């Protein structure tokens, strides 16, 4: 699973002070002003939510991969002759999706002239649904919006501080004129921090709209990532890294966090056709390279070519996107996997051609020393390796060793919770926006995406992806060993340095 590993919703915010915090004994939990039950500090919330990604072969659905970038002109008729039915043609990249009850369909369809291979589509768990509580926001107006201080929850957004986002905004660069497509699960389309920046939404999940409609006890992963990218600077709640960028919200995972490989491909192509400047993908799965899968009936399937061909199919889509000027950014994954040693899995979409892969950073005990805490510690769960990681960005962590409670900037909360990333969450029945803490490379990727949006906006838009990556590389804070290293890649993104470069 490539998404957030833990989350904690925020409820009942009090007045936010400048820097003050007081420590308390870890045992008393009654009276926490965020309403978190004592039970949530037990294994229910402290457990490692990073379970097996659940990569399951869909026995009756297939992806047809053309030899080149063009499907055979008569692919529908040819598939019918092979006892199948084409349900979707992605002619821009030479792919088609088909269904068939014939177990020999793949072998038959692979013999069609102009077809490279036919593989089963797969379902994967892109993020883990978890219990959720929603906070109704309190608005506090203090200073001009450009400082970030007039948004009452901004003082809890340590990630923006880590990458010098406020200083970047004060240069006049806030993502103006940039379109960011966020590929994720469902979204709260009427969240007050998002609604003014949303220019469109679509769902590739059959039977589900783009609007998040999960159970009341679940969190909205897509809403959280969208807020980190481009929550408006509107004096309501949080601020996104590119608060004036526009959002195209593309649902490629169901509200429960699972999705088909073909939905992801269709989402990338749609974002490209809509002229997105950047695509954020806080999702993915670890695909076994040995070709051993479970199908949707629970049978063990051995297909050694499947992983290779799935990466070929995905790379057709990502190459098409980058050739058309779209910068692609994805989360690296939350398995603490050393890609230099463990070659048993391929990470999708992070390993696909042209995709910028983001690892996660976080403080430990930030609320106890907000002015001196190291915000760039490598997160405990983040995947790493060379060349697996391109850049690092704030993703949050939950590694603080106790359930100590602190009163920090008016908020009485667990110390480890404040080390996670705060962003937009569920909307209440009264229409008020909620906010949730999450941690994972899913939270790191949208920080990097926001910086890319600032950079593209500063350069007037329509920026070649290779140029975007080069500019990000030139502006990072080079943490870890000099140059590219397995943990931070080329370095942790820096918004101010990114927009301070000459065009």
Burial 198-219 (b: 16+ CB within 10 A, else e): beebbbbbeebebbbebeeebb
Catalytic residue among 218, 260, 423, 442: 442
Catalytic residue among 121, 149, 182, 184: 184
Which residues, listed in sequence order, are joined to residue 287 by a DSSP beta bridge? 346
Measured between its terminal Cα atoms, the distance across the chain in Å is 38
* Matching residue, tokens 């799935």: 310
Which residues, listed in sequence order, are joined to residue 424 by a DSSP beta bridge? 435
Which of these, 430, 434, 368, lies nearest to 402 by C-alpha position?
368
221 is catalytic: yes
Catalytic residue among 41, 121, 182, 221: 221
224 is catalytic: no
Which of these, 253, 254, 261, lies nearest to 282 by C-alpha position?
253
184 is catalytic: yes
Phi/psi at 46 (nearest 5 deg)?
A: -90, -5
CB 112 within 8 A of CB 86: no
Element holding 63 (H helix, E strand):
strand 56-66
Distances (CA, A) of 408 to 18, 147, 371, 405, 437: 9, 20, 13, 9, 15
Which residues, listed in sequence order, are joined to residue 477 by a DSSP beta bridge? 492
| Concatenated DSSP letters of 442-503 | HHHHHHHHHHHHHHHHHTTS---HHHHHHHHHHHSB--SSSSSBTTTBT-B--HHHHHTS--
CB 501 within 8 A of CB 471: yes
- How far apart (Å, rounded) are the C-alpha atoms in residues 361 and 359? 7
Other CB atoms within 10 Å distance of the CB of residue 18: 8
The set of catalytic residues is: 184, 221, 442
């Amino acid at each position: 699973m490539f998404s957030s590993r833990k989350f904690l919703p925020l409820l009942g915010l009090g007045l936010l002070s400048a820097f003050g915090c007081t420590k308390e004994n870890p045992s008393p939990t009654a009276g926490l002003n965020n309403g978190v039950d004592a039970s949530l500090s037990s294994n229910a919330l402290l457990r490692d939510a990073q379970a097996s990604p659940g990569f399951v072969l869909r026995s009756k659905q297939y992806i047809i991969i053309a030899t080149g970038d063009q499907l055979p002109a008569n692919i529908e008729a040819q598939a019918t002759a092979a006892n199948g039915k084409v349900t979707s043609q992605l002619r821009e990249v030479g792919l088609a999706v088909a269904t068939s009850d014939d177990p020999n369909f793949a072998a038959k369809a692979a013999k069609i002239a102009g077809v490279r291979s036919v593989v089963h589509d797969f379902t994967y768990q892109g993020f883990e649904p978890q219990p959720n509580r929603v906070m109704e926001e309190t608005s506090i107006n203090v200073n001009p919006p450009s400082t970030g201080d007039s948004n009452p929850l901004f003082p809890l957004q340590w990630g923006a501080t880590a990458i010098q986002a406020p200083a970047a905004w004060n240069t006049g660069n806030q993502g103006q004129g940039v379109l960011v497509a966020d590929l994720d699960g469902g979204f709260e389309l009427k969240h007050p921090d998002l609604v003014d920046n949303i220019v469109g939404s679509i769902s590739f999940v059959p039977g589900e709209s783009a609007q998040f409609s999960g159970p009341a006890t679940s969190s909205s992963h897509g809403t959280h990532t969208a807020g980190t990218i481009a929550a408006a600077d509107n004096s309501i709640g949080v601020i996104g890294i590119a608060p004036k960028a526009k959002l195209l919200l593309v649902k490629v995972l169901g509200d429960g966090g699972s999705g088909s490989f073909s939905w992801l491909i269709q989402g990338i192509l749609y974002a490209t056709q809509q002229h997105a400047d950047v695509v954020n993908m806080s999702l993915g799965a670890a695909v076994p390279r040995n070709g051993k899968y479970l199908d949707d009936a629970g049978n063990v399937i051995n297909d050694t070519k499947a992983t290779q061909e799935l990466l070929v199919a995905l790379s057709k889509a990502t190459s098409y996107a980058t050739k058309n000027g779209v910068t692609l950014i994805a989360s690296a994954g939350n398995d603490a996997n050393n890609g230099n040693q463990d070659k048993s899995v391929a990470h999708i979409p992070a390993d696909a051609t042209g995709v910028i892969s983001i690892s996660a950073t976080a403080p430990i005990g930030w609320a106890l020393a907000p002015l001196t805490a190291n915000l760039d510690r490598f997160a405990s769960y983040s995947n790493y390796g060379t060349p697996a990681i391109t850049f690092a960005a704030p993703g949050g962590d939950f590694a603080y060793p106790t359930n100590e409670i602190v009163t920090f900037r008016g908020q009485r909360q667990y110390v480890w919770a404040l080390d996670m990333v705060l962003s937009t969450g569920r909307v209440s029945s009264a229409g008020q926006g909620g906010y949730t803490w999450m941690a994972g490379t899913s939270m790191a990727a949208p920080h990097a995406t926001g910086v890319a949006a600032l950079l593209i906006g500063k350069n007037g838009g329509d920026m070649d992806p290779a140029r975007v990556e080069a500019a990000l590389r030139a502006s990072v804070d080079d943490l870890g060993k000099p140059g590219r290293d397995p943990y931070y890649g080329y370095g942790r993104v820096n918004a101010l340095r990114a927009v301070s470069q000459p065009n």
